[in-house]
Amino acid sequence: MICTGRAITEGVRTGAIRIEPFIPDQVNPNSINVRLGRTLHVYTGSVLDSYKPNPTREVQIPEEGFVLQPHTLYLGHTIERVGSTRHVPLLEGRSSVGRLGLHVHITAPIGDLGFYGQWTLHLTPVQPLRVYAGMQIAQVMFEVASGEVDLYQGKYQGASGPRPSEMWRHAPGHRQVAS
């Protein structure tokens, strides 16, 4: 069951849903819009390797915007920190953004119960597209969770800014070093 906009607002008021900053004007009938942050990361290698760390370069979106190019994956982030211990957050691109040919995520629309932080966006345009920091780029819906809950405690908890894949940490032969 997906929460209505009023249920999202009430969830924020009671603390069942965390959205910071919470801007009531961004609430829709069954979601809340989230905005694009200023920082983008772009992978610098010509081939990405799922079993090795992949270096990125950082790009700051200037006031006049930044033109995303096709055939390039840009890792962006939400300005808002979003999460819940009782509702499963689901992130989707806004239809207005989709009509411009921008895919906002590739395969990861579901947030784990207990995750709280800025969401990394997987921005892939079908043609050159100028984007701006602060634009309402995606929406988050909240589904009511059912059953016993194990809260997320993973590597992306508390994320700030775009986070490249850390899949390599689970590659065969990789040793986790205690910190």
pLDDT tens digits along 61-119: 999 999 999 999 999 999 999 999 999 999 999 999 999 999 998 887 888 889 899 99
pLDDT in tens, 118-138: 999 999 999 999 999 999 999
Mean of the pLDDT values across residues 46-65? 95
What's residue 179's pLDDT? 43
- Say which residue the tokens 């993973």 belong to: 154
What's residue 175's pLDDT? 62
How far apart, in Å, are the Cα atoms of 55 and each of 28, 37, 44, 63, 158?
37, 20, 6, 26, 21
- CATH code, 5-46+66-146: 2.70.40.10
Average pLDDT, the chain: 92
The pLDDT of residue 55 is above 80: yes
Burial 60-70 (b: 16+ CB within 10 A, else e): ebeeeebebee
Q: Specify whether the CB–CB gap between 149 and 115 falls below 8 A.
A: no
